[in-house]
Every structure is written in structure tokens, then in C-alpha cells.
């Protein structure tokens, strides 16, 4: 089935032609920290069907935003350089959306790594440059802060400058701006 287009000669329109479908940017969010397996993507996108995830991954691969690595029985998906260009878009959406979260509903799914983008701002406020490993419960990620900005990655840094342990409530308070990160 051919993809729908706005048919507007406009950068925003063209971008939405590529990544404006439901679930697409959330798949990209999941890949921002590094390669992920299909089963991990499916587990961390509650509510998505297997057909929808497969379709979005194929669309993103066709558009050159992700690459599918096949290694025997194990395979993974990873953002390409072009796909990584969406990180600032997701970051801007995160900054815009965090104050609009409000109270968490009992039916709201939550994953600690979904706080990675807004926590990156808090980490960068706390230290001007370096590497910080952040533990949020069982979830571990690390940030690299440099003159080029802040990036986050799955797992602990090999030799971090700082290490922080938070529970989900603390991480949420920091991500929403109601609390400050102390390093």
C-alpha cells in the first residue's frame, strides 16, 4: 500500500511524511540509546501490536533511518546517522511535553529509560562536561556531556566521572523539573 503524503512543499510536511505515523517516533526514541532487538522494542512499547512494530521498522529501514543487523538467530535495529538526526526533535518534544505530564494515571505505562532525554538536561546542568552513569532502579544508562551536547546510551559507562542512583519517583521529579539532580 503506498504511503500517504501531505504533498506540501514544506520541510515540516516532508518530515511528517517520513516519521509522522503513529508509533514511529516512539520506535526512534527506543533506538536513541543504541541498538535494540525486536523483542526488547516490543516489550518497551506497551500497546503496539507486532504487526504495527514490524511495519514501522520496515518503513524506517526503507527510509534509511534505521539499519537492521542480522547475525544468525540474533538481530537488532539501530539508528543510522540520518536517524540520529531525530534526537534533537525528540529532545524538543520531550522538553515541551514534560510539563504537560500531570499526575500519572493508574493505567499509564512507564519505563525508566523513557526519562532519559529530560534527565540529560538535568545531568548537563549538574556537570559541564564528562560521563555520568545513572541507575534508575534496575535500569542503567549513561550520559556523555560535551561541547556538542548530551547523549545517552544503554548501560553503564566504562569509567564514569560520576555515578548516580535514583528510584523512579526521584527520576520523575528531576525529569519534570520539580526537583534538582545532586551530583
107 CA to centre of own chain: 21
Roughly what angle, to the nearest 10 degrees, separates helices 24-31 and 87-97? 110
Closest by CA position to 177, among listed 100, 90, 110: 100
Spell out the per-residue pLDDT of the chain, length 183, in tens.
456 889 999 999 999 999 999 999 999 999 999 999 999 999 999 999 999 999 999 999 999 999 999 988 899 999 999 999 999 999 999 999 999 998 999 999 999 999 999 999 999 999 999 999 999 999 999 999 999 999 999 999 999 999 999 999 999 999 999 999 998
Domain ranges of the chain: 11-84, 107-176
Q: What is the pTM of this model?
A: 0.92
Reduce the DSSP state of residue 145 to 3 states and report it: strand
Per residue in 25-39, is it b (16+ CB within 10 Å) or e — as a string?
Answer: bbbbbbbbbeebeee
Q: Which CATH class is domain 11-84?
A: mainly alpha
Amino acid at each position: 500500500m503506498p504511503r500517504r503524503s501531505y504533498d506540501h512543499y514544506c520541510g515540516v510536511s516532508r518530515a511528517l511524511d517520513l516519521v509522522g505515523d503513529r508509533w514511529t517516533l516512539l520506535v526512534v526514541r527506543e533506538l536513541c540509546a543504541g541498538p535494540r532487538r525486536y523483542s526488547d522494542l516490543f516489550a518497551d512499547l506497551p500497546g503496539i501490536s507486532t504487526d504495527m512494530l514490524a511495519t514501522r521498522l520496515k518503513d524506517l529501514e526503507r527510509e534509511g533511518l534505521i539499519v537492521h543487523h542480522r547475525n544468525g538467530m540474533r538481530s537488532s535495529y539501530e539508528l543510522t546517522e540520518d536517524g540520529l538526526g531525530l534526537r534533537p526533535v525528540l529532545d524538543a518534544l520531550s522538553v515541551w511535553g514534560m510539563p504537560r505530564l500531570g499526575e500519572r494515571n493508574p493505567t499509564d505505562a512507564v519505563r525508566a529509560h523513557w526519562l532519559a532525554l529530560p534527565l540529560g538536561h538535568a545531568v548537563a546542568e549538574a556537570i559541564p562536561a564528562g560521563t555520568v552513569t545513572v541507575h534508575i532502579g534496575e535500569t542503567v544508562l549513561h550520559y556523555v556531556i560535551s561541547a556538542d551536547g548530551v547523549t545517552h546510551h544503554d548501560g553503564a559507562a566504562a569509567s564514569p566521572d560520576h555515578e548516580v542512583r535514583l528510584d523512579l519517583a526521584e527520576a520523575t521529579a528531576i525529569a519534570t523539573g520539580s526537583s534538582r539532580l545532586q551530583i
